[in-house]
């Protein structure tokens, strides 16, 4: 199996692979470690990654970037609305309320989902890994921002499927960084943990996590984030600064011109980087708009001043992470910054001020996420031996289950009796399984939802499950055990429902069963009615087969805050319990259906084929061209004696004709035509080449002979 980690950045993507001697970040076709997250749609093919970035200026409206911002978000999301204002390509609302990206591809307008575009990008990254490993890549780990919602996580998985990848683990980027930091440390404490704050400032967002390290393990204590605070916000500030300056000075309005906007934004990003190392930086763009050359200059001080609104927001996620961890700044022993956005000196100033100590850059700021992902993949891989190191991950949001209460409770007033309980509180370990017990007489439904809408910008409801039909043997309310799983990727689903029926036959109390009772102890949530109508109990369902691996740091704590009611029946003489699986049907809001994913896989296959055909066509065309040049040179050089003058003249004329054809009628032909054209030339050229080679061989035979004598 392949051991690969992908850092899918908003701006830059990195691919790391595990080899016997360790983890390597690998180079793409252009020999870069970072691959821009850009897909450019062309008349004949797509250009992805570095090639996509190169095509952006020529073809801005069809160059899709910021994919990570768009994926899994509703069109009405205010952040998305803000983002698309500065994007050069068109984004509209799809029939499902999610965005559609429009681009001119193969000569006509096409619509793509952000998931599809991410799939294209991932497929390119997969190709980079495969070239380097010289093997097929399927299994992998992909980094995701900790703030990604359920639907965003699902979308990343779908994008991976489209790319032919199978992520073993979507891992929080900050956790990947913490892993890459901790696993090599040989001096971690045995008892009191070493608390490290990791701050990742990327292109579009900022993430914080506080991790406690002990020998052989790390535990994520808390998270903080700002979804919209990153390097690009500084670009934006500079962009507006210069745009309004140029409006005054040069009477040009770049906002009216997609290409000019793009060029000014790119120049501002460069300027920002120059300001990280210099106190002043110039900005010169030739022919920006209306044939006007523009010039400007800015001092770092002024840049920091106009950036105050951004800089002011840096502290909030830090404070949140600290308070969620129950720590003070003094308890944080080390501060590590990563992400290239952190190179802005003002950022470091704020971090230093906040923590009272200088942040360190122990890790490679741009590579650590991909390295951590590859490490995680190696840990999960049976074929790699990795130093024993446990990662206790924690989930950043609270997740509830909601259902309608029993009809008898609704009698008073007749209103629907909506109930809910927190199944996975914020900070819950990942993965985790909980079981709830319901008493019902017929099919019922439950909603999985976020407990606190303020924490995220997403609709609260994640999914709805219909549970049933089932039949209770005695016509009473049946007892059902409903298992809810928070999986390794941080995706929540109702995994199973089981009908529990006590059978008449009494059986002696065995050791096994008393253990089972102990496991069942926790119980119904506060919100559940206390009467005999009580319809839900909750428990941890630890130790189920695939929650393994995290058992250690896992759910010792989670449910304590809610005082659970003990199920009285559990105390009665032990009876045999018959378990029957109850059917489940699932609706996940905004998720692609599996047929849609399948369709997208097919489409991706077609587009990839088209790209390949075009690459091969270019390749065959180049072959004709270089044959023409090469043969022409050789005909007046080493082949001169092996062809008659008349034949040479005729051949040179033919070569000239083909060269002219390449620039005219033959400019845009199919692969087969170029292949045929090369054959045609070789028919004339090959005999000459053969005669030349034969004479060389004769020559070498003679040489050898003379040597023997």
Compose the 220-249 pattern: x for residues touching ligand ATP by CB under 6 A, - for all others: ----------xxx-----------------
Q: Does 359 bind ligand ATP (CB under 6 A)?
A: no
Q: Which does 340 bind (CB under 5 to 8 A by kind): K ion, ligand ATP, Mg ion, none?
A: ligand ATP
Stretch 169-228 residues interacting with ligand ATP (CB under 6 A): 202-205
Give the shortest CB-203-to-ligand ATP separation in angstroms. Answer: 4
Stretch 500-539 residues interacting with K ion (CB under 5 A): none
Give the shortest CB-131-to-Mg ion separation in angstroms. Answer: 23
Give the shortest CB-513-to-Mg ion separation in angstroms. Answer: 50
Q: Does 11 bind ligand ATP (CB under 6 A)?
A: yes
Count of residues binding K ion (CB under 5 A)? 3
Stretch 390-409 residues interacting with ligand ATP (CB under 6 A): none
Instruction: Name the one range near K ion by CB under 5 A: 2-10, 36-44, 119-127, 625-633.
Output: 2-10
- In angstroms, the first-to-last Cα distance of the chain is 59
Give the shortest CB-95-to-ligand ATP separation in angstroms. Answer: 28
How far, in Å, are 38, 447, 487, 588 from residue 154 at the CA level? 21, 17, 11, 10
Give the shortest CB-367-to-K ion separation in angstroms. Answer: 8
Count of residues binding ligand ATP (CB under 6 A)? 22
Stretch 13-72 residues interacting with ligand ATP (CB under 6 A): 68
By the 10 Å C-beta count (0-12 exposed, 13-18 middle, 19+ buried), 669 is classed as middle
**Can you tell me which of 276, 376, 400, 451 binds ligand ATP, judged by CB under 6 A?**
276
Q: Does 317 bind ligand ATP (CB under 6 A)?
A: no
Strands, E assignment, 145-259: 166-172, 194-201, 206-214, 217-226
**Can you tell me which of 5, 9, 372, 429 binds K ion, judged by CB under 5 A?**
9
- The H or E element that residue 293 is part of is strand 292-299
Among candidates 466, 425, 667, 439, which has minimal Cα distance to 560? 425
Give the shortest CB-36-to-K ion separation in angstroms. Answer: 10
Select 16 or 467, whichever has its Cβ closest to K ion. 16
How far, in Å, are 277, 281, 303, 332, 347 from residue 343 at the CA level? 9, 16, 14, 22, 8
Give the shortest CB-274-to-ligand ATP separation in angstroms. Answer: 8
Q: Does 367 bind ligand ATP (CB under 6 A)?
A: no
Select 373 or 528, whichever has its Cβ closest to K ion. 373
Q: Does 340 bind ligand ATP (CB under 6 A)?
A: yes
**Can you tell me which of 2, 12, 123, 617 binds ligand ATP, judged by CB under 6 A?**
12
Instruction: Name the one range near ligand ATP by CB under 6 A: 265-273, 389-397, 472-480, 615-623.
Output: 265-273
Select 42 or 339, whichever has its Cβ closest to ligand ATP. 339
Report how far residue 309's alpha carbon sits from residue 53's, in angstroms, rounded to the nearest whole number. Answer: 30
Among candidates 490, 495, 485, 493, which has minimal Cα distance to 542? 485
Give the shortest CB-370-to-K ion separation in angstroms. Answer: 7
**Can you tell me which of 12, 28, 59, 449 binds K ion, judged by CB under 5 A?**
12
Give the shortest CB-260-to-ligand ATP separation in angstroms. Answer: 20
Contact residues: Mg ion, CB under 5 A = 9, 202
By the 10 Å C-beta count (0-12 exposed, 13-18 middle, 19+ buried), 119 is classed as buried
Instruction: Name the one range near K ion by CB under 5 A: 8-16, 145-153, 296-304, 557-565.
Output: 8-16
Give the shortest CB-210-to-ligand ATP separation in angstroms. Answer: 19
Report how far residue 225's alpha carbon sits from residue 573's, in angstroms, rounded to the nearest whole number. Answer: 52
How far, in Å, are 166, 433, 501, 521 from residue 517 at the CA level? 38, 17, 15, 7
By the 10 Å C-beta count (0-12 exposed, 13-18 middle, 19+ buried), 56 is classed as buried
Mapped onto helix, strand or coil, the DSSP state of residue 351 is: helix
- What percentage of the chain's residues is helix, strand, coil (to nearest 5)? 40, 25, 30
Give the shortest CB-178-to-K ion separation in angstroms. Answer: 16
Q: Does 451 bind K ion (CB under 5 A)?
A: no
Pairing, β 444-450 against β 399-404: antiparallel
Select 205 or 419, whichever has its Cβ closest to ligand ATP. 205
Mapped onto helix, strand or coil, the DSSP state of residue 234 is: helix
The number of residues in the chain equals: 709
Tally Cβ neighbours within 10 Å of residue 475: 8
Q: Does 49 bind K ion (CB under 5 A)?
A: no
Give the shortest CB-359-to-ligand ATP separation in angstroms. Answer: 15
Pull the structure tokens for residue 414: 């007749």
Pull the structure tokens for residue 324: 């969620």
Report how far residue 678's alpha carbon sits from residue 587's, in angstroms, rounded to the nearest whole number. Answer: 57
Select 174 or 437, whichever has its Cβ closest to ligand ATP. 174
Select 60 or 339, whichever has its Cβ closest to K ion. 339
Residues 6+ apart with CB under 8 A from 506: 573, 574, 575, 576
Taking the CA atoms of 104, 105, 107 and 108 in sequence, report the sign of the dihedral they define: negative
Contacting positions for ligand ATP (CB under 6 A): 9-12, 68, 202-205, 230-232, 269, 272-273, 276, 339-341, 343-344, 366
Q: Which residues bind K ion (CB under 5 A)?
A: 7, 9, 12
């Amino acid at each position: 199996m392949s051991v690969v980690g992908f850092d899918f950045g908003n701006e830059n993507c990195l691919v790391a692979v595990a080899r016997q001697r360790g983890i390597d970040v690998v180079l793409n076709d252009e020999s870069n470690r970072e691959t821009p997250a850009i897909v450019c749609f062309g008349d004949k093919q797509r250009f992805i990654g570095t090639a996509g970035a190169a095509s952006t200026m020529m073809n801005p409206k069809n160059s899709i970037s910021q994919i990570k911002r768009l994926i899994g978000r509703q069109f009405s999301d205010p952040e998305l609305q803000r983002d698309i204002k500065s994007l050069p390509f068109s984004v509209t609302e799809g029939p499902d309320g999610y965005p559609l990206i429009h681009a001119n591809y193969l000569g006509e307008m096409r619509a793509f989902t952000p998931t599809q575009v991410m799939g294209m990008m991932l497929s390119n990254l997969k190709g980079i890994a495969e070239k380097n490993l010289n093997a097929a890549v399927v299994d992998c780990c992909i980094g995701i921002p900790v703030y990604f919602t359920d639907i965003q996580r699902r979308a990343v998985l779908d994008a991976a499927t489209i790319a032919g990848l199978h992520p073993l683990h979507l891992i929080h980027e900050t956790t990947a960084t913490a892993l890459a930091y901790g696993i090599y440390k040989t001096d971690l404490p045995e008892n009191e943990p070493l608390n490290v704050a990791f701050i990742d400032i990327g292109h579009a967002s900022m993430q914080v996590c506080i991790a406690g390290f002990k020998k052989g393990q790390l535990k994520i204590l808390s998270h903080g984030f700002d979804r919209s605070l990153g390097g690009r916000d500084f670009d934006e500030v500079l962009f507006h600064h210069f745009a309004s300056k140029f409006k005054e000075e040069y009477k040009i309005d770049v906002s009216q011109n997609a290409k000019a906007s793009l060029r000014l934004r790119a120049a501002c990003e460069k300027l920002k980087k120059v300001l990280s190392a210099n106190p002043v930086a110039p900005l010169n763009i030739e022919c920006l708009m209306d044939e006007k050359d523009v010039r400007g200059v800015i001092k770092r001080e002024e840049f920091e001043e106009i950036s105050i609104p951004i800089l002011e927001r840096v502290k909030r996620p830090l404070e949140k992470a600290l308070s969620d961890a129950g720590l003070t700044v003094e308890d944080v022993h080390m501060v590590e910054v990563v992400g290239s956005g952190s190179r802005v000196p003002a950022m470091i100033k704020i971090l230093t001020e906040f923590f009272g100590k200088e942040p360190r850059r122990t890790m490679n700021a741009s590579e650590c996420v991909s390295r951590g992902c590859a490490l995680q993949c190696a840990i999960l891989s049976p074929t790699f031996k990795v130093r024993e190191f446990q990662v206790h991950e924690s989930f950043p949001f609270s997740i509830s289950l909601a259902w309608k209460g029993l009809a008898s409770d609704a009698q008073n007033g007749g209103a629907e009796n909506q109930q809910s309980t927190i199944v996975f509180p914020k900070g819950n370990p990942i993965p985790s399984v909980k079981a709830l017990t319901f008493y019902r007489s017929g099919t019922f439904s439950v909603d999985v939802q976020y407990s606190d809408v303020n924490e995220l910008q997403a609709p609260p409801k994640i999914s709805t499950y219909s549970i049933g039909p089932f039949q209770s043997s005695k016509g009473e309310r049946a007892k059902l055990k409903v298992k809810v799983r928070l999986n390794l990727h941080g995706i929540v689903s109702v995994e199973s429902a089981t009908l529990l029926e006590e059978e008449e036959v009494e059986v002696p109390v065995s050791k096994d069963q008393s253990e089972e009772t102990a496991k069942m102890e926790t119980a119904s949530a506060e919100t559940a009615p206390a009467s005999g109508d009580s319809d839900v109990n909750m428990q941890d369902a630890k130790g189920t087969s695939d929650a393994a691996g995290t058992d250690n740091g896992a759910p010792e704590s989670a449910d304590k805050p809610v005082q659970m009611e003990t199920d009285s029946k559990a105390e009665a003489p032990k009876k045999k319990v018959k378990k029957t699986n109850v059917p489940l049907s699932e609706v996940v809001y905004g998720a692609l259906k599996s047929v849609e994913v399948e369709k997208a896989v097919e489409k991706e296959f077609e587009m990839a084929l088209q790209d390949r055909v075009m690459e091969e066509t270019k390749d065959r065309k180049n072959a004709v061209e270089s044959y023409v040049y090469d043969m022409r040179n050789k005909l007046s050089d080493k082949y001169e004696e092996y062809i008659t003058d008349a034949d040479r003249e005729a051949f040179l004329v033919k070569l000239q004709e083909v060269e002219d054809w390449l620039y005219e009628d033959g400019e845009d032909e199919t692969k087969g035509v170029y292949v045929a054209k090369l054959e045609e030339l070789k028919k004339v050229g090959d005999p000459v080449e053969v005669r030349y080679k034969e004479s060389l061989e004769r020559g070498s035979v003679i040489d050898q002979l003379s040597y023997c004598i």
